[in-house]
Amino acid sequence: MAKKTAKPQGKEAATPAKPRRKRLSPEERRAQIVAAARSLFAAEGTDNVSMRKIAKRVGITQAAIYQHFENKEAIFFVIIEGFFSDLLAALEAASAKETEPLHRLRSAMRAYIEYGLSRPEEYRLVFMTPMSGLVRAGLAVPRTDEARQTPSKGSLAFDVLDRAVRDVALAGRTRFANTDLLAEAVWAAGHGIVSLLITHDQFPWADRAAIVDFQLDLVFRGLLHDNCPMRKQIAGLS
């Protein structure tokens, strides 16, 4: 405001009520677009959000978005990066809270599940949607490759889980020697809960907290050594 330069303004002087075109820096616009897209996704679901809706929310035309993003997937990509970044932070915070390997793994798993349930639309986008090269960019090739192209937040997040599982094995608390398999199984068990709860909220589920606790108990009882003294400590409620 307070910008009264009073320029010549083209030729036909003051077509009335024409909302003056605002020009923002690319960084600002990008941030606006991503913010609008993220909140719309969360509110209406990923599929029900169009480029036009995002543009309207920002206050520009749909075509203007293409000045800042190659296509719709590119917006997804940025959102996913943020999702993985926060997921990584949540996992690391949960891991840091516990020192004993088993409790640490359990804490990380619980954090994963709760994080997924707290951001269902993004979770669906990241872990339940097939997108050429997109999910790949966020997560895949975490271990077997040697290229080491600055590992993505997604692979780092998986590494937290992987490390926690390995520590449990190193502490001699599980009889399963193959930690890769174990990490995948633990991940799948957690993902199954999140995925089903997100998609089938009509299903007559038991209480969510009870389900999460139960699943954790089941998995952790499963991976423990038969003679592990901790076996008694596992809650095993309900």
Partner DNA sequence: CTCAATTACCTAACAGTGTTTATTTAAGGG
Partner DNA sequence: CCCTTAAATAAACACTGTTAGGTAATTGAG
**Does 38 contact DNA by CB under 7 A?**
no
Amino acid at 176: F
**Does 64 contact DNA by CB under 7 A?**
yes
Tell me the two tokens of residue 103: 């409790």
| CA 175 to mean position of chain CA atoms | 31
Choose which of 20, 22, 148, 203 interacts with a second copy (CB under 8 A): 203
**Does 51 contact DNA by CB under 7 A?**
yes
Query: Of these partners, DNA, a second copy, none, which one is at the site of residue 139 (CB under 5 to 8 Å by kind)?
Result: a second copy
Distance CA 212, CA 190 (A): 8
Q: CB under 8 Å, gap of 24 or more: what pairs does 58-65 form?
A: 58/29, 58/32, 58/33, 59/22, 60/29, 64/29, 65/33
> Given the structure tokens 């709860």, which residue do they identify?
197
Distance CA 224, CA 219 (A): 9
- Which residues are CB-neighbours of 233 under 8 A, at least 6 positions away? none
The distance of closest approach from Cβ of residue 149 to DNA in the complex, given in angstroms and rounded to an integer, is 25
Query: Of these partners, a second copy, DNA, none, which one is at the site of residue 39 (CB under 5 to 8 Å by kind)?
Result: none
Query: Of these partners, a second copy, DNA, none, which one is at the site of residue 110 (CB under 5 to 8 Å by kind)?
Result: none
Choose which of 39, 44, 45, 52 interacts with DNA (CB under 7 A): 52
Using CB under 7 A, count the residues that bind DNA.
Answer: 30
* Count of all residues that appear for the chain in the document: 238
The distance of closest approach from Cβ of residue 23 to DNA in the complex, given in angstroms and rounded to an integer, is 4
The distance of closest approach from Cβ of residue 187 to a second copy in the complex, given in angstroms and rounded to an integer, is 7
Residues near DNA (CB under 7 A) are: 7, 9-10, 20-26, 29, 49-53, 55, 59-64, 66-68, 70-73
